[in-house]
């Protein structure tokens, strides 16, 4: 498997060099925010910090955090550091309720974004000669357009099919000879299931690699995708508020996602106290942009949980790597005082034979107590008629989940393919506690 380096100067620089770029970029960004973004300047003033105080990289710690709510309150353009005539593109976060978070890009921002996506797809081994099917939604979501331009930049043939229309996806995949699939992992798995149902033999197709991102997924799910689609499945990470896709992605060694540290400073913090953690400790990822023009961010709290590793990778890159995101701080369910992440449930479920690949957690409050009900698809519907086997399977799942979670869950086994699939991000948790 080839793993080329797109930009050796920046991807393989010494730590000393990276930190030099970071300090210069940090000073630039702090000045820009101070002069052009009044709500952030007010935060700095409240914290008693002025741009001149930023002298060394560790002075970052004195700068106030930015959170999603700051961006929401500034809807739509309140945190833009550029006048409208310099803004050439708008995207928005994928939140389902209320007003979205809007992000703008200048032409320089778009050029940088395209470079970073080109870097990310190159490290996942995609380049000239590949045919890349972009099954992310094109629109306000950054996935479609972000991947699109980066793939064109490396010279791949891009199929901008967007999300959904699964039959057509499979048809074009065969007829156009797609070699790289770009999608959310949950949609990739659905494509695999549908291919099986429709009698498409993906082992005979040209598909060889997947670039998946946009939602958390476990290594167990990676295994299932690789088996069903007969490909190498790589993960990449990003978020609209910081840039979109292209912030970090895996090389084929899959030893963590290489972070574009020449454009972003990454920190991990204790989510409850805000305390900065040393690399190697699990915490909430926090990003600072170094050269974004329209929507710079300083210490943006992502709520995503991961671990940073600053040691160089065997592939030759020296930028810090982040472990696969295990979940979001706000995805964490607290069931009778115990913390439960959907990813823990996924990791258990996908090792049990006889069940399908989709699941959903339903949380109820009954008699003032939280209850977790896990809906799990069977892989074979004939089991639904064999009650004792069904009961045995449910008990097995419950016991295995209890071992990992220390919480008793109710297991509901449902028909194959009956849990809703979406072309975008999967809905893993349905919280009924807020319902009347």
> Which residue number places its CB atom closest to ligand DLL?
213
The rounded distance, in Å, linking the Cα atoms of 156 and 200 is 24
Q: Which is nearer to ligand DLL, 44 or 119 (CB)?
A: 119
Is the alpha carbon torsion for 399, 401, 406, 408 positive or negative? negative
Residues paired with 369 in a beta bridge: 366
Min. distance of Cβ 393 from ligand DLL in angstroms?
Answer: 29
Helices 219-229, 185-198: inter-axial angle, 10-degree rounding: 30
Min. distance of Cβ 142 from ligand DLL in angstroms?
Answer: 5
Q: Which is nearer to ligand DLL, 25 or 256 (CB)?
A: 256
122's tokens: 């190159």
Min. distance of Cβ 406 from ligand DLL in angstroms?
Answer: 24
The rounded distance, in Å, linking the Cα atoms of 151 and 114 is 8
Q: Which is nearer to ligand DLL, 115 or 370 (CB)?
A: 115
Min. distance of Cβ 101 from ligand DLL in angstroms?
Answer: 8
- Residues at the contact surface with ligand DLL, assessed by CB under 6 A: 93-94, 136, 141-143, 213-216, 235-240, 244-245, 302, 304, 325, 328
3-class DSSP assignment, residue 50 = coil
Among 218, 211, 198, 219, which Cα is nearest to 238's? 211
Q: Which is nearer to ligand DLL, 68 or 375 (CB)?
A: 68
Min. distance of Cβ 57 from ligand DLL in angstroms?
Answer: 24
Q: Which is nearer to ligand DLL, 51 or 342 (CB)?
A: 342
Min. distance of Cβ 208 from ligand DLL in angstroms?
Answer: 19
Residue 254, CA distances (Å) to 196, 217, 305, 324, 411 in order: 27, 14, 18, 9, 33
Min. distance of Cβ 301 from ligand DLL in angstroms?
Answer: 10
Q: Which is nearer to ligand DLL, 131 or 302 (CB)?
A: 302
Count the helix, strand and coil residues of the chain and give each as a percent rounded to the nearest 5. 35, 25, 40
Q: Which is nearer to ligand DLL, 23 or 295 (CB)?
A: 295
116 Cβ contact partners less than 8 Å away, ≥ 6 residues apart: 150, 243, 246, 247, 260, 263
Among 16, 33, 416, which Cα is nearest to 197's? 416
């Amino acid at each position: 498997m080839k793993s080329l380096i797109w930009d050796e100067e920046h991807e393989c620089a010494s730590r000393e060099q990276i930190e030099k770029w970071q300090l210069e970029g940090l000073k630039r960004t702090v000045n820009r925010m101070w002069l052009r973004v009044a709500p952030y300047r007010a935060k700095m003033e409240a914290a008693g910090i002025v741009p001149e105080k930023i002298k060394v990289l560790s002075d970052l710690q004195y700068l106030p955090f930015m959170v999603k709510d700051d961006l929401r309150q500034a809807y739509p353009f309140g945190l833009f550091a550029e006048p409208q005539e310099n803004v050439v593109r708008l995207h928005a976060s994928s939140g389902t309720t209320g007003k979205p978070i809007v992000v703008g890009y200048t032409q320089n921002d778009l050029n940088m974004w395209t470079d970073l996506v080109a870097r990310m797809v190159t490290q996942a081994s995609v380049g000239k000669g590949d045919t890349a099917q972009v099954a992310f939604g094109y629109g306000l979501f950054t996935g479609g357009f972000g991947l699109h331009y980066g793939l064109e930049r490396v010279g791949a043939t891009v199929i901008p099919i967007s999300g959904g229309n699964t039959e057509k996806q499979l048809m074009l995949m065969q007829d156009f000879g797609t070699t790289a699939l770009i999608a959310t992992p949950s949609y990739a798995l659905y494509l695999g299931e549908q291919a099986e149902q429709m009698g498409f033999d993906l082992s005979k197709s040209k598909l060889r690699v997947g670039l998946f991102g946009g939602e958390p997924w476990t290594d167990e799910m990676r295994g299932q995708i690789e088996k069903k689609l007969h490909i190498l499945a790589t993960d990449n990470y990003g978020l609209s508020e910081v840039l979109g896709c292209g912030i970090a992605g895996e090389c084929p060694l899959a030893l963590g996602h290489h972070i574009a540290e020449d454009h972003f400073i990454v920190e991990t913090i204790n989510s409850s106290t805000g305390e900065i953690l040393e690399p190697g400790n699990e915490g909430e990822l926090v990003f600072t942009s170094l050269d974004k023009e329209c929507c710079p961010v300083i210490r943006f709290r992502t709520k995503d949980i991961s671990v940073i590793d600053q040691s160089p990778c065997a592939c030759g890159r020296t930028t810090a790597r982040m472990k696969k995101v295990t979940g979001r701080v706000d995805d964490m369910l607290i069931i009778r005082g115990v913390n439960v992440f959907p990813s823990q449930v996924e990791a258990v479920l996908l090792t049990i034979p006889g069940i399908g690949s989709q699941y959903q957690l339903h949380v109820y409050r009954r008699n003032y107590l939280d209850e977790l009900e896990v809906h799990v698809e069977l892989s074979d519907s004939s089991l639904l008629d064999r009650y004792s086997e069904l009961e045995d399977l449910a008990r097995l799942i419950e016991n295995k989940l209890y071992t990992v979670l220390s919480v008793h869950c109710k297991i509901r086994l449902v028909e194959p393919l009956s849990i809703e699939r979406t072309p975008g991000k999967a809905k893993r948790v349905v919280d009924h506690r807020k319902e009347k």
